Amino acid sequence: MEFFPQIMGNKATKERLGRAILQNTFPHAFIIEGPRGCGKHTLAISLSAALNCNSAQKSALPCGTCDSCRRILNKNFVDVKYITKKDGKSTIGVEEIRSMREDIYLSPTESAYKIYIVEDAQVMTPQAQNALLKIFEEPPAGVVIFLLCDNIQQILSTIKSRAQLVRMQRLADEAVRSALLKRPELALLSTSSPEAFTAAIKLSQGAIGRAVEMLDTEKRDELAEEREIASTLLERLVPGKEKFKLYSAIQALPQKRNDFLRSMHMVLDGLRDLIISKYDENTALLFYTDMTKVSELASRIGHARLLRFYDAFTAARNKSEQNGNMTAILTDLCAIASRV
Ligand SMILES: [Zn+2]
């Protein structure tokens, strides 16, 4: 039997979860962890469908064709409920979990299992998590709770110890590519703008949803612009060029934290390509598309200089991730550039 055909990769996880459903040993609480766009949501929906699938003879779980499966997979099913941030709020508060608690002890309306999917579980306030813990301590029969999160560090250990953890696997670029090619509009794009298509796959870091997001028309232009900024900056690392040009390339980096982090990701991937070109000309490139150009640029910049900039940009990225002051981070980079 094929388990969860909606999910790419993650073979061992699918097998384990599928067996648990068949053997009726499916736990009542799950934490599904992985970066944005990696398929946490699709997995939770697919599991919900599998738990409530009505098909007697199936070659796949969920069968995907019975009435229950179709409605759950189309997100049109009363016993699969979502808990999300309220509009304009940055956290999931205790009120949201309390109203979930009021609902949870009522029997399911039309299915075997009642499912709750908590999106962005990492933004639950500690009070909300404590309220959730009360449910975990006395779980009602026939209820399954999925906590979807980017980062499990923000989940209380008392919650973690009462839920089973599923870590989504990072997919290989080729798997992301073949998933994208199944969508007609993206297949078309792969021939009309092959560079943008490949760039989105590389930047998605194995998350199909992120690649799809980046290929959205508006995002695509933004992405091309960001690539241009990163590429100009890397060009200007060549020593001897007027220093002010390097400064202006650093100043051209986006100042908003998330945008800056995305740019750092590109710059670091580019630097990695340049550094590795010295050792292995056959390596798969992360940022560039043409190894000849990479080797040529790498020799103009020089190996030691590349390594020093790699350290400087890694430090800048880390500081930014730790909420460092963005102006100070960019100033530091300029200062380092004048010394290197
Ligand atoms: Zn079914």
> Domains in the chain, start-ordered, CATH in brackets?
2-167 (3.40.50.300), 216-339 (1.20.272)
| Interval between CA 151 and ligand 1 midpoint (Å) | 31
Type and span of the H or E element at 116: strand 114-118
What is the distance in A from the centroid of ligand 1 to the CA of 15? Answer: 18
Measure the CA–CA gap between 41 and 60, rounded to whole angstroms: 19
CA distances from 173 to 176, 179, 203 (A): 5, 10, 10
Q: What is the pLDDT of residue 237?
A: 94
Q: How far is the CA of 136 from the centre of ligand 1 (A)?
A: 28
Q: Give residue 141 CA to ligand 1 midpoint distance, Å.
A: 21
C-alpha 64 – ligand 1 centre gap (Å)? 5
What is the identity of the amino acid at 304?
Answer: A
Decide: 155 and 122 in contact? Cβ < 8 Å. Answer: yes
pLDDT of residue 241: 64
Give 209 Cα–ligand 1 centroid separation in angstroms: 24
Q: Please name every residue paired with 83 in a beta bridge, in sequence order, or none if there are none.
A: 118
Measure 56 CA to ligand 1 centroid, in angstroms.
9
Q: Locate 94 and state its tokens.
A: 């205790």
CA 326 to ligand 1 centroid distance, Å: 50
Distance 38 CA to ligand 1 centre (A): 24
Encoded tokens for 153: 């560090």
Ligand 1 center to 69 CA (angstroms): 4
Cα(49) to centroid of ligand 1, in Å?
7
The CA distance from 50 to 23, in Å, is 13
Taking residue 317's Cβ as centre, other Cβ atoms within 10 Å add up to: 18
Residue 193, judged by CB atoms within 10 A of its CB (0-12, 13-18, 19+), counts as: middle
Give the Å distance between the CA of 172 and the centre of ligand 1: 29
CB within 5 A of ion ligand 1: which residues? 53, 55, 62-63, 66, 69
Distance (angstroms) between ligand 1 centre and the Cα of 314 equals 48
Classify the phi-psi angles of 138: left when phi > 0, otherwise alpha if psi is within -120 to 50, otherwise beta. beta
Ligand 1 centroid distance, CA of 208 (Å): 25
- pLDDT at residue 284, rounded to an integer: 77
Tokens of 179: 């998933």
pTM exceeding the 0.75 threshold for the entire prediction: no
pLDDT for residue 258: 83
- CA–centroid distance, residue 48 to ligand 1 (Å): 10
DSSP H helices in 166-302: 173-181, 184-192, 194-203, 208-214, 217-235, 243-251, 257-276, 291-301
Centre of ligand 1 to C-alpha 317, Å, is 46
**Bond into 184 cis (ω within 30):** no
Question: From the first residue on, what is the mean pLDDT of each consecutive set of 10 residues in the chain (340 residues)?
Answer: 89 93 92 90 95 87 93 91 87 92 84 92 94 90 93 91 92 91 91 85 86 84 86 93 86 90 91 92 82 94 95 94 90 88
Q: What's the confidence (pLDDT) of residue 202?
A: 82
The SS3 of residue 277 is coil
pLDDT at 220: 78
Ligand 1 centre distance from Cα of residue 115 (Å): 16
What SS3 state is found at 46?
Answer: helix
What is the Å distance from ligand 1's center to 111 Cα?
A: 12
pLDDT at residue 157, as a whole number: 94
